Amino acid sequence: MIGWAISKPTVTGLRQAIADARAKRAELRRDDAELILATAHGTKGLEFDHVAVIGLDEGVFPSRRTLEEAEDPARALEEERRLAYVAWTRARRSLLLVFDPTAPSVFMREAFSVTELGLTPAP
């Protein structure tokens, strides 16, 4: 708010900027928006024609911190696996899985062969 307030010479100007930002945000959150950004948690029960799941990298999804800080790491890994499944099954028509080819997530390595991932097998 302070950042906005500095650039607005009047309280009325600040109020208008806030109202404009709220209106823009509401417009972006329409059900028929062309692009919807969501977390895997937030997509449970929803479906979309096209889905891109990003961050399927080692240490990112599943989160290294989540696993390291878990009381039961094996259970935490299973919960993360279920969450990945939720994300992957939201797509009706197409699914794009984005990962670092030098460090794919354990979920990517479980679901796809080395050849499918475009990786070179270890000698």
pLDDT at 122 over 90: no
What domain range includes position 88? 35-117
Q: Are residues 17 and 72 in the same domain?
A: no
For the whole model, what pTM was predicted? 0.66
Q: What is the pLDDT of residues 16-40, one digit of tens each?
A: 888 988 888 777 676 676 777 888 8
Q: Are residues 92 and 44 in the same domain?
A: yes
Q: Rg of the Cα trace of the chain? A: 20
Cα 30 to the chain's mean position, in Å?
19
The helix or strand, by DSSP H or E, that contains position 93, with its residue range, turns out to be strand 91-97
- What is the mean pLDDT of the segment spanning 54-59? 92
Query: What CATH number corresponds to the domain at position 66?
Result: 3.40.50.300
Residue 61 included in any domain: yes
Q: Are residues 112 and 65 in the same domain?
A: yes
- What is the mean pLDDT of the segment spanning 101-114? 91
Residue 87 included in any domain: yes
Instruction: Count the neighbouring beta carbons within 10 Å of the beta carbon of residue 4.
Output: 12
Query: Band of the pLDDT at 60, cuts 50, 70, 90?
Result: very high
Q: Are residues 26 and 69 in the same domain?
A: no
